Structure 1
Amino acid sequence: MDDLRQSDPEGIRRRKADKWAFVPPGDRAESYAMLAERVRPVFAALDAPTILVAHGGITRSFLALYANVPGDEAVRTEIFHDRVLHVSKGRVEWV
């Protein structure tokens, strides 16, 4: 982020305006929205109790896709590294 602030201040403004859809520089870069679509089939294929270990972007994608959290809110949601996001019977909670 520090490098981006110096090299592309307009990019930082675009990111602040729409963090969910912002695509950072780089050939393989993707926005949170793109990430959510990429991982959607993985989530959709889960048909049994599952433990999924992933980084915050995946968690935010899950919240947007399956917990009815709007994307612009999902990107600002605190992701806990010392808790488990438990999902059961339509209920989503950190435990």
Structure 2
Amino acid sequence: MPTLVFIRHGETDWNAEGRFQGQQDIPLNARGRGQARRNGRVLAENLPQAAGYDFVASPLKRTRETMEILRGAMGLEPAEYRLDPILKEITFGDWEGFTGAELKANWPDRVVAREADKWGFTPPAGESYAMLSERIARWLDTVDRPTVVVSHGGVCRVLQGLLLGLGPERTPMLDIPQDRFMIWDGKDAIWV
């Protein structure tokens, strides 16, 4: 497996409000743009060879904006990367746009079911972590050279779970920061 650098998009207002974003096309906020710049500078400092890697992002606005700011901070042409729709975030279907508190008020039984089985639970018109894991495993099989990826928290959870062989009870609970990034060196996930 080649080196893989995974960067979660910077913060959005919906992140700050605790809203389920899923595949809604929400832009970065000022803090998120700062996180993207920081990640670009730190990546260039710690892994200068990454400038020659393949760069790929989810097609959602927040990941594209993160990628372009990141590449600019690395001294690279911001627009020279490719998009891959398979890297879109897990979809929460009818739950997108709601906060956790709003979900508990509107769908208390379903929230309890999700808490009991976060891996297998599928929100109304949405996708489960199990389904997302199958999608990301297909993408991972196509990675054949060192790559910098900008995608989403759910995507990184299942990617890290696949790479480290974590089980379905642990994978959806992984904390994926927006102000740091993961480097997979072929045997371990290192957060910088």
Is the pair's TM-score, using the shorter chain for normalization, greater than 0.5? yes
Query: Taking structure 2 as the reference length, what is the TM-score of the superposition?
Result: 0.46
2-side partners of 1:76 and 1:41: how far apart? Answer: 22
Query: Taking structure 1 as the reference length, what is the TM-score of the superposition?
Result: 0.89
How far does residue 66 in structure 1 lie from its aligned partner after superposition?
A: 1.5
* Correspondent of 2:136 among 13, 33, 39: 39
Question: Do residues 92 (structure 1) and 192 (structure 2) align?
Answer: no
Q: What pairs with 1:46-61 in structure 2 (closer than 5 Å)?
A: 46-61=143-158
- After TM superposition, the runs of 4+ consecutive aligned structure 1 residues lying more than 3 A away are none
How far does residue 86 in structure 1 lie from its aligned partner after superposition?
A: 0.5
Larger Rg: 2
Deviation string 1:31-69 (CA, Å, 9 cap, x unpaired) is 111011112111111011000111001001102211112
2-side partners of 1:44 and 1:24: how far apart? Answer: 27
2-side partners of 1:55 and 1:67: how far apart? Answer: 18
2-side partners of 1:41 and 1:77: how far apart? Answer: 21
Higher relative contact order (CA 8 A, sep 6+): 2
Q: Which structure 2 residue ranges, 5 or more long, are not aligned?
A: 1-99
How far does residue 2 in structure 1 lie from its aligned partner after superposition?
A: 3.0
